[in-house]
Amino acid sequence: MIELKGIGKRFGAHSVFEGIDLSLERGEIIVIVGPSGTGKSTLLRCINFLETPDAGSLTVGDLTVDASRATREQILALRRRTAFVFQNYALFANKTALENIAEGMIVVDHMPKREAHARAREILERIGLADKADAYPASLSGGQQQRVGIGRAMAANAEVILFDEPTSALDPQWVEEVLGLMKQLAAEHQTMIVVTHEMQFAREVADRVVYMDQGRIIEQAPPSELFTAPKDERTRQFLRKILPAQEGV
């Protein structure tokens, strides 16, 4: 179980959002959609304290962290239960694909280097990059770099993987290979929260789609409901702009 209760975040005098409640069960996949600038990515970053929430509490598994009095130990424990996939890959430029995937296992989990490298090779095989183990990020395509980023998240064995617009920095030809890997993880019942503009992916993979606007969760429903019969006019207006006209939202 992952649960957000009353999460709030401010930057100075600007309130990004407040009172956000959201929960998901193990194996569930939630896709968060909405206009740019509405706080989707900030909310995702608050879940593992890449951004520190100003209010509320987060529960991941058996760990509950109160934003107002979170300790360093609690934050580290929370990050061990969550893995983050960045839109700009965030790979170590001076490390190979194998080393990027193994790094967290060695530094965070204190796994012996040989064991971590063996596990990294298994992951590279799973993500279709076994032949790129010794390649540095600069020699990889954007799609390959993002797959390494996802492989690094897989290595963490986290209870939930958080994806922050994982295809937004990719050229169109690389988008499908990244989405394909995410669909593979979904088929394996990996718990995921995904911020994305890829509506077809949301249709095919999400158990629930959450629509955010102006720092609020406006509505949430299975994709078959939200994309065909949204209840709120703001959701309908958003979907009219981004879905093909023939879908008639």
In a domain, 102, yes or no: yes
Residue 193 is part of a domain; what is its CATH number? 3.40.50.300
What is the pLDDT, as a whole number, of residue 244? 65
In a domain, 124, yes or no: yes
In a domain, 13, yes or no: yes
In a domain, 70, yes or no: yes
What domain range is 51 assigned to?
A: 2-197+211-217
In a domain, 63, yes or no: yes
Q: Could you tell me which residues come within 8 angstroms of residue 104 by beta carbon, excluding any fewer than 6 positions away?
A: 152, 155, 156
| Token duo for residue 54 | 């100003």
In a domain, 35, yes or no: yes
Quote the strand ranges of 88-159, DSSP E. none
Per-residue model confidence as pLDDT tens digits over 157-193: 999 999 999 999 888 889 999 999 999 999 999 999 9
Per-residue model confidence as pLDDT tens digits over 85-95: 999 899 999 99
CB 38 within 8 A of CB 89: no
Q: Please state, in angstroms and rounded to a whole number, the distance separating the CA atoms of residues 58 and 69.
A: 12
Per-residue model confidence as pLDDT tens digits over 12-53: 999 999 999 999 999 999 999 999 989 999 999 999 999 999
Q: Please state, in angstroms and rounded to a whole number, the distance separating the CA atoms of residues 97 and 102.
A: 9
In a domain, 141, yes or no: yes
Per-residue model confidence as pLDDT tens digits over 62-90: 999 999 999 999 999 999 999 999 998 99
- Total tally of structural domains belonging to the chain: 1
